[in-house]
Structure 1
Amino acid sequence: MSIRKLEHFNIRTERLHETLAFYTRLLQLTDGPRPGNPPRETGAWLYDTDGVPIVHVAAFDRNDETRIAWLNNYLGERDLDSLNGSGAIDHIALLAEGYDDMLERCRTLGIAYRERLVAALNLRQIFVTDPNGISIELNYREA
């Protein structure tokens, strides 16, 4: 057995609308279907340009005990106060295209970013932080 690729990452959030705006407006992922067509207020699946749902968003309201119980049963129990930032995971890296376009979108949307060049790998990077405090590394291998 071997691991072939990362399928998706899941974000539990109290900031559903801000999270969806970040991933769809800035990263240009597409908000698409979820199995069983659950209610919109419970979350979303966001698809890359290959049609793969790489970001799953699970929404919760800390005042909705039924929803929290369901999430804890389905995804595993979490302390609600710990659901901010990347925790022990420092960042999530995504291969991207259109470096200059991303910089312009960051500026237009008022999203703070940090650039880095890894010359030994001929790699340009842009780091952004989503509304949940999760650090996203965008890697550009374009010539």
Structure 2
Amino acid sequence: MKIGEISKATGIPVETIRYYEKIGLVPEPAREASGYRNYRQSHLQRLLFIRRCRNLDMAQDEIRELIRLADQPDADCSEVDALLARHLSHVRERLRELASLESTLEQLQQACSEGRTVSECGILGGLTSEPSANTPAGNSSHIPGTHGTR
């Protein structure tokens, strides 16, 4: 199977498949005499596994660890369970952060009243002022804590 075919079968863009190969999440396929990559069923299964993990918002390191664990089929699954527990904890933290973000956005939206000019806009004023004292330090990103790996 060529890269375009496996891309279509998995719904993963060609560039992403090449990236997964480059970082070692997917083994590099054999090449035909013409130089084209020749993907096998095992590549398709691995890419579908990765896509499902990404749909669960798992980080590359988490996926890499799951792949490592999957390659030990007779091992105790407690490490898999622990990884999922850590990920679930991360998701719950993000949900709390998103709830806080929602509250902040609602407060900003309430700062605007009809009939005012842009220069009087409470939303723009709120976005240009310093964060309130109850905003945790270090939580200045749009969704705090989502860009690190956990």
TM-score by length of 2: 0.25
TM-score relative to the length of structure 1 = 0.25
Larger radius of gyration: 2
Relative to total residues, which structure has the larger strand share, 1 or 2? 1
Where relative contact order (Cα < 8 A, 6+ residues apart) is larger, the structure is 1
Structure ranking higher in helix proportion: 2
